[in-house]
Structure formats: structure tokens, C-alpha cells
Amino acid sequence: MKNQICTILGGGGFIGRYLVRNLTKKNYRCIITTRKAFQKGYLKTQATPGAIELLDWNPNNFSDLKEAIKNSDFVINLIGILFENRKQKFYNIHAKIPEAVAKICAESDVKKFIQVSAIGANEKSNSLYQKSKFQGEKNALNNFDKTVIIRPSVVCGSEDNFTNLFSKLSILPIIPIVGFNYKFQPILVTDVADAIVKAIEKKNNEKKIYEIGGPKIISFGDMVKSILATINKKRIVMAMPMSIAKIQSTITDLLPIPPILTRDQCEILSENDNVVSNNNLTLKDLDLNPSDVEEAMKKWLWRYRDGGQFAKTK
């Protein structure tokens, strides 16, 4: 039987490496488009020779993308950025790329297009990130009627930029938190990868939106305290006023890579909580039970403990 082909945009990123492994286990052939294919050779170790193909792709050149998609059964877009810089803008990455991909899918024999967005995507948001995510969803749905949207909450895993960041910040005696009471529903990266595969295989879910989160809703402040407890560090965790955070972020936004929060992320933390709503489908509709992130993060945060993995937990 001919192996089905998945083209994955952004397959070399955080979620992508787990998704590729899930797909190859099910005998899908994966075509991964990436800007620096020579740096993503590690992906080929996840499957038998020939099952994974890496293609250099410049996001400004959609003719190359047509070649990658034209023979594909499924297309998955994982491309996203957390902050803007001189070369990368939210609208170009989150809205224009999904629109172009959806149009190519409509011209090909693609069975389904999975657009990975984010909980909180909203055209009325003050955040450019959230606005652009919503516009990307709209563009994808309007240009290809076999599109499925997946909106995860904060995604955690051994390579994430969340649990690792606050573990590194434990060198500070006091850790200020912007949006201390802001609630979210952290989800393990392996569960996100499972959800994408399930969404591919689920029948009659075209034009549906899935909001996916972990089993617990937790505040930003409590999650940081949980991270510190996991690495056996006693630190003062205090709320930072949003007004001060916005002033600080105005300065740090000038750096090539903002060290903590950007002005746009401050806007997100000023709005609605990042939790699964009752307005769309969820993991239950994909027959999935999410793992406990707080329990799972013990498997990768041990490296921040004094004494490493052999340190006794308190």
C-alpha cells in the first residue's frame, strides 16, 4: 500500500520533531520544509531511510512550496513566531503563509490542511500576535474547505521556552511575574503531536476548530512556584505591575531577542485567560486524555537542581 505523504511547514521546530516521529511510526512519509535544512538532519534519525525528506524553503518563495505540496495527502502548518523583529512580522508569518498554503492545497489533491494556531486568537485583541493568528485561521478556512484549526494553550516539553526560562531565572533571589493571576492550561508537546495526528485521521471534521489544553488550569504565578518546587529552589515570586512591565518591555523590545516579555505579550496577559472555552471541539472529541504537565516536567527540569537528577526532592 502506498504510504500517505504529509508536508509539514516548520517541522524542524519544537512541536515538529515530536509530530514527525508520531507520523513516521504510522508509516506516513514526511516532507519537511525549513529555512535551514542542513541544521535539521537529526529529524532523519526518527525513521527508516527515505521516510523523511528535508527541503530548503524561503517563506517568500511559494513556487517551491507548490512542489512540496502538490503530491501530498496532508499539509500541516506549524510555523509561528513569539515576537517580531526587523525581518519577521506577525502578519506575514501568521496570516499570509496560511493563506498561501490554503490556496495551494485547493489547487492540489490535498485531503486535509491542519493549521496550528493558538488559544486566544481573536480579531478584536489588542495583541498583534493574537490578531494575526485569528487572521491566519480565517484565511486558511476561506481558501480551502478541508481546513482544520488546532488551538493549543501554552505548550510545554523538554525543549520549551517556558519551564526552562523560569528554571534559569532561579539564579535570581526574587522573580517578578507579569500577569501573576493570569490563568492558562499548559499542555505537553507530545499531547499536541497526538492531537494533530488524530485530527488528520478523524473523519468529517473539516472546518472545525479544536481548542486543546492540559488537565489543569493554573495561574502564571502558581506555575512558576511549581517549577521552582520541582527544581528545589526557594525564591520569592512576586507580582509585577503591568504598567511597569509595559515600560520595561518598550525598552527590551529594541533588542534582537527580547529577554523576557515583549509589549505585545503584555497585551496578551492583560486580556482573557488562555484556557479551553466551551465554544469549540476539544481533546475529548479526539479521544485523547492529556498528561499532567507538572508531573511530566520533573523528567526534564532535574538538570536545574543542585546535584542534578540524583538530588533529593524536598
Give the Cβ contact number of residue 238 at 10 Å. Answer: 11
Is the pLDDT at 314 greater than 60? The verdict is: no
pLDDT at res. 141: 98
CA dist 59 and 48 (Å) reads 28
Query: What does the pLDDT read at residue 313?
Result: 59
| Mean pLDDT value across residues 286-297 | 97
Q: What is the mean pLDDT of residues 269-276?
A: 94
State residue 260's pLDDT score.
77
Q: 309: pLDDT confidence band, cut at 50, 70 and 90?
A: low
Range 88-108 average pLDDT? 95
Residue-wise pLDDT for 139-167, tens only, equals 999 999 999 999 999 999 999 999 999 99
The residue whose grid cell reads 500577569 is 179
pLDDT number for residue 43:
83
Cell of 23: 507520523
Q: What is the mean pLDDT of residues 228-256?
A: 91
Calpha distance 127→296 (Å, rounded): 30
Mean pLDDT of the chain: 92
pTM for the model: 0.93
**Per-domain boundaries in the chain:** 5-156+187-214+274-291
In angstroms, the Cα distances linking 221 to 127, 210, 226, 239, 304 are 21, 27, 9, 8, 19
Helix 97-107 / helix 62-69 crossing angle, nearest 10 deg: 40
pLDDT band at 2 (very low <50, low <70, confident <90, very high): low
CATH code for the domain defined by 5-156+187-214+274-291: 3.40.50.720
* Whether 162 contacts 124, CB under 8 Å: no
Task: Provide φ and ψ at 42, rounded to 5°.
Answer: -60, -25
pLDDT of residue 45: 81
The mean pLDDT value for 113-129 works out to: 96
pLDDT one-digit tens code per residue, 26-80: 999 999 988 777 777 878 887 788 889 888 887 777 888 888 898 899 999 999 9
User: What is the dihedral sign for C-alpha 305, 289, 21, 13?
Assistant: negative
Residue 314 has which C-alpha cell? 524536598
87 or 221: which leads in pLDDT: 221
Q: What is the pLDDT of residues 169-211, one digit of tens each?
A: 999 999 999 999 999 999 999 999 999 999 999 999 999 999 9
| Spatial separation of the C-alpha atoms in residues 73 and 267, rounded to whole Å | 38
Across residues 90-104, what is the average pLDDT? 96
Q: CA 21 to CA 2: how far, in whole Å?
A: 19
Label the pairing between strands 52-56 and 74-77. Answer: unpaired
